[in-house]
Amino acid sequence: MRIDIKAQHIDVHPRWEAIVQRRAAKLTDFCKDIVRLHVTLVHSTHHLHGNEEARLLASVPNDTLRAQKAQANMGDAIHAAFTALERELQGWVDRRKHHKKQEASRRRPQMPA
């Protein structure tokens, strides 16, 4: 899996990069089909409320999964976004298994009576 980490209005802290690498490794243990993970860390420049936001895009075969979460600090935003992406990925895996079962049952030859 290729991991791209980018930031807007802020520099990427090594601790955040370590969190992303660690959580991405857990995703690959869960599902080996992830081709690319694009992580964007965004710092709000508003002068009254500066929420930190993490956006994740995971490329899987024939689909793209997305998660976006905002929290008070960047570490919490990264963890929340990865938790949401894990739920998205679980749904994708379940849909894929269900689809494969349906395809297999259609292809199975019928025994003549």
pTM as predicted: 0.83
Per domain, the residue ranges of the chain are 2-107
Type and span of the H or E element at 41: strand 36-43
Strand 63-71 with 36-43, pairing: unpaired
3-state SS, residue 1: coil
The angle at the Cα of 100, spanning 98 to 106, to the nearest 5 degrees, equals 105
Which among 26, 31, 34 has a CA at the least distance from the CA of 97? Answer: 31
- Tens digits of residue pLDDT in 27-54: 988 888 899 999 999 998 776 666 899 9
- Tens digits of residue pLDDT in 52-107: 999 999 999 999 999 999 998 999 999 999 999 999 999 999 988 877 666 666 66
Q: Read off the pLDDT band of 8 (50, 70, 90).
A: very high
Decide if pLDDT at 109 tops 70. Answer: no
What pLDDT does residue 45 have? 78
Q: Which CATH class is domain 2-107?
A: alpha beta
